[in-house]
Structure 1
Amino acid sequence: MKIHLRKRVGRLSAGNEKRGKKQMASLYLTCIPRPGAKVQYEWLNLHVYENPKTNIEKDHNKETMLLAESVKAQRILDHQTTGHGFVSSVKGKVGFLDYFKKLADRKREDSNGNYGNWQSAYEHLKTYIGRREYTLDQIDENFLEGFKQYLQGNIVRRGTGKLGANSSLSYYNKVKAALREAYMNKMIKENPSTRVKGLKPGESHRQYLTLEELQTLAGTQCDNSLLKKAFLFSALTGLRWSDVKNLCWNKIRYTENGGWNLEYVQKKTKAAEILPLSDQAITILGEKQDVNTHIFKDLCYHTHMNKQLQDWINRAGINKKITFHCARHTFATLQLSMDTDIYTVSKLLGHRHLKTTEIYAKVIDKKKIEAVQKLSFL
């Protein structure tokens, strides 16, 4: 058997080339199980820069290639232990709930803020399964359809009402992600979620703070000074929690024109980004420490932190339910309200698709309509 790691360079449209989008190559494996057999392909959903120029792009390529080589080595090992590329029957007998719990626990270290969603999905999955026991290879279309119905119809949140459409979608997608990973790791022969129609997202409501509210908040005392510093920095930069948490001083670079840039790799998208920082954002960070030091190293995501954040909001006299991610919503909404063009805002947020940014534009349009309706004198 021969397994090779290869890459395929995608074509870059003229429009994307003008917007400065980098050309990427997709990584995949080819396998010839035996002489004369048909070549098998496995796309890894990993991408590298075709012509890396910055240190961030080069580091991204290096880390991605190491991951791809690791997958290749695992595939070779799988073949040696199971033979002919067949999935091991032992792997498929792993308890699905236990497997999902291990993935959820791993997210505690990998993605911080996303861990809460995985943990909530696990709790709903545990309730849905009840006392029954399911192994990985027993998860089928009927199981998934039943879980969808459970999410859409179950009374949750301590009796206060049904799950929202987007919460149901998020939890179902976590189960899909678990099955996809099991399939990628050759633990199951096929992924049943590919044959089940997914849930539809509900209308998205982006809660945010106005400029006046943000100014009031900045002048209000918070019981957790590090949380206050991180939230205001996120509101000035649009960074997600996971990127704020991982921020090191060595990612902040002084530019030739006298400004500051943040050069980092988004934790969610794995894309390299260069984000200009305002003078106020730099001021909030305070005195520069050792280059390898995490700026917000003692900041942890937990329920108590959410309470501290909401207490701070309430103390400022702001009657809104605010989470840390609302700081990112605030940045996007304020930029658009100050007439920053949507393409620039999309780039600042590191969005892959413009339609994601357009959600914020709809919020601004709604506020404009409300403002016009307020002017009435007849």
Structure 2
Amino acid sequence: MSSSFSIKFYLNKNKGKGEQFKIYGRLIHQRKKSEFATNYYIEEDKWDEARGRAKRNQVINDELSELEAQINRIRRKLLDDEKPISSRIIVEILKGDRKEKRSLLEYTDEHIKEITHKKEHAENTLNHYKSSRNIYAQFIKDRFKRSDVTIHSIDYDFLKRFDDWMLSDYTDKLGRHVKRNTVNKHHSRLRTLLHKAVREGFIHNNPYRLFSLKNTPTNRAFLTIEEVNNIKSLDFSNNISLERVRDVFLFSCYTSLRFSDALNLKLDDIINTEDGKRLISIQMGKTKENVYVPVIPPTQEIIDKYEEDPARKVEGSILPRYSNQKLNIYLKMVATMAGINKKMTHHVARHTFATIALNRGMPLEVVQKILGHRNIRTTQIYAKMQTSTLEKEMQKFTF
């Protein structure tokens, strides 16, 4: 400890019980002192004033040494976290009268460890929090020239500055500026962390109660039935990689499964119903919702096609293995060959399933169940009506 900080135990002669006096602790930091009472009394002749310890009483001395060590740990943590420090603050934390002020990045790291340990969230959710954590760190460094900030210091001004910085200064790994809805996702995770901090008593109010997020409507890309069939009819006999990517994409067009759920699908996940039909039965990785998807003939064709694939023989996987990034690169080539001028990723297959299903008259509640959405409002995002459907329905509007 530096000379500006000291710890000493002494007998408080004003706090006596018979011939015994209570042992107190005194902290001095930057010439300012704070005192606290221990749980021990002792006779004056059994106390060594110079050492600040009892004479021949190891139990009391061990407790005092542990208190001293605890005080040093509190001070060290405050220093490491660049938090305000004084003898009064240390005593308040020691006595439990004060909630220790937590730093944002430290708190985010603890949240990530917690949800990792509980295994209640998909891997993508963990990665999203890790990504947001790095963005928070970059913002704090750029705007505050610090390695971290305390949670209690986050206010409306902090959120506004973070919002402005994300929209004007921040660029992703490819050097691109991000849009409003991407910014909102990082806000949403910070808001969740601050809600948790309120529940745990580190702050009294969530500053997001004053800061409203505005969503920008997005047009989710999807394919028409004709475009799906164009992709299906492509001849990839000379390019096995593109053929497999095409089949993985079509599989999700027919089943609605996300990339991770489709790639992780095993033969054991397909069950036979009492009436002889086949059904995909899985728990979705992202939402943990149980979903059941009937296997239609085009789906079964793809399942049968890869019966001899190494991924099937070794791991029991339904589909060939690809990384999402590599698959999306190849998928753009597939779309170009099919004459499709749309921004193509594997997730377009899920949008395609939902849009075609709704336009074919499948009830919204059924589509919700197949997609594994907890909230029907999420499913309604996919309720895009194609021109042909609008024309057909408009015929009912006659005078």
Q: TM-score range by the shorter chain?
A: 0.5 to 0.7
1-structure distance, mates of 2:97, 2:303: 53
1-structure distance, mates of 2:294, 2:390: 32
Runs (5+) with no aligned partner, structure 2: 1-92, 395-399
State the Cα deviation string for residues 177-230 of structure 1 (Å, max 9, x = none): 44456677x594567355343412221311011111111212333735543332
Percent of aligned positions with the same letter in both sequences? 25
Find the counterpart in structure 2 of residue 174 from structure 1. 189
- Indicate whether 1:298 and 2:321 are aligned: yes
1-structure distance, mates of 2:280, 2:217: 33
Q: What SS does the corresponding residue of 1:274 show, helix, strand or coil?
A: strand
2-structure distance, mates of 1:279, 1:85: 65
* Counterpart pick for 1:259 among 277, 283, 287: 277
1-structure distance, mates of 2:98, 2:272: 52
- Indicate whether 1:214 and 2:228 are aligned: yes
* Counterpart pick for 1:99 among 106, 109, 113: 109
Find the counterpart in structure 2 of residue 349 from structure 1. 371
**Aligned-pair distance for 1:325?**
1.0
Shift in CA distance, 93/282, structure 1 to aligned 2, threshold 3 Å = same
- Mapped contact 2:267–2:318 kept (Cα < 8 A): yes
**Aligned-pair distance for 1:343?**
2.5
- Mapped contact 2:137–2:148 kept (Cα < 8 A): no
Shift in CA distance, 258/98, structure 1 to aligned 2, threshold 3 Å = closer
Shift in CA distance, 85/327, structure 1 to aligned 2, threshold 3 Å = farther
Find the counterpart in structure 2 of residue 324 from structure 1. 346
Shift in CA distance, 87/251, structure 1 to aligned 2, threshold 3 Å = farther
Find the counterpart in structure 1 of residue 257 from structure 2. 239
* Counterpart pick for 2:385 among 360, 364, 371: 364
Shift in CA distance, 273/143, structure 1 to aligned 2, threshold 3 Å = same
State the Cα deviation string for residues 280-330 of structure 1 (Å, max 9, x = none): 21221232857973434733233x432222122222221110111110000
Find the counterpart in structure 1 of residue 336 from structure 2. 314
- Indicate whether 1:151 and 2:174 are aligned: no
Q: What SS does the corresponding residue of 2:279 show, helix, strand or coil?
A: strand
Higher RCO, Cα 8 Å, sep 6+: 1
Shift in CA distance, 98/346, structure 1 to aligned 2, threshold 3 Å = closer
Counting only pairs closer than 5 Å after superposition, residues 276-287 of structure 1 correspond to structure 2 as: 276-286=294-304, 287=307
Q: What SS does the corresponding residue of 1:263 show, helix, strand or coil?
A: strand
Shift in CA distance, 296/264, structure 1 to aligned 2, threshold 3 Å = same
- What is the identity, as a one-letter code, of the residue corresponding to 1:99? D
RMSD of equivalent CA atoms: 4.2
**Aligned-pair distance for 1:132?**
2.1
- Indicate whether 1:230 and 2:248 are aligned: yes
Find the counterpart in structure 2 of residue 125 from structure 1. 136
2-structure distance, mates of 1:271, 1:87: 41
**Aligned-pair distance for 1:101?**
11
* Counterpart pick for 1:89 among 100, 115, 128: 100
2-structure distance, mates of 1:119, 1:341: 38
Q: What SS does the corresponding residue of 2:230 show, helix, strand or coil?
A: helix
Shift in CA distance, 170/126, structure 1 to aligned 2, threshold 3 Å = same
Shift in CA distance, 193/322, structure 1 to aligned 2, threshold 3 Å = farther
* Counterpart pick for 1:165 among 180, 185, 197: 180
Find the counterpart in structure 2 of residue 201 from structure 1. 215
Find the counterpart in structure 1 of residue 86 from structure 2. none
2-structure distance, mates of 1:173, 1:94: 15
Shift in CA distance, 291/266, structure 1 to aligned 2, threshold 3 Å = farther
Shift in CA distance, 366/352, structure 1 to aligned 2, threshold 3 Å = farther
Higher Cα radius of gyration: 2
Q: What SS does the corresponding residue of 2:318 show, helix, strand or coil?
A: coil
- What is the identity, as a one-letter code, of the residue corresponding to 2:348? C
Runs (5+) with no aligned partner, structure 1: 1-81, 374-378
> How many pairs were matched up?
287
- What is the identity, as a one-letter code, of the residue corresponding to 1:211? I
**Aligned-pair distance for 1:231?**
1.5
| Bigger shift: residues 152-161 or 326-335 | 152-161
Shift in CA distance, 179/292, structure 1 to aligned 2, threshold 3 Å = farther
- What is the identity, as a one-letter code, of the residue corresponding to 1:144? L
- Mapped contact 1:97–1:125 kept (Cα < 8 A): no
- Mapped contact 2:198–2:204 kept (Cα < 8 A): yes
Shift in CA distance, 316/273, structure 1 to aligned 2, threshold 3 Å = same
2-structure distance, mates of 1:84, 1:268: 42
- What is the identity, as a one-letter code, of the residue corresponding to 2:218? S
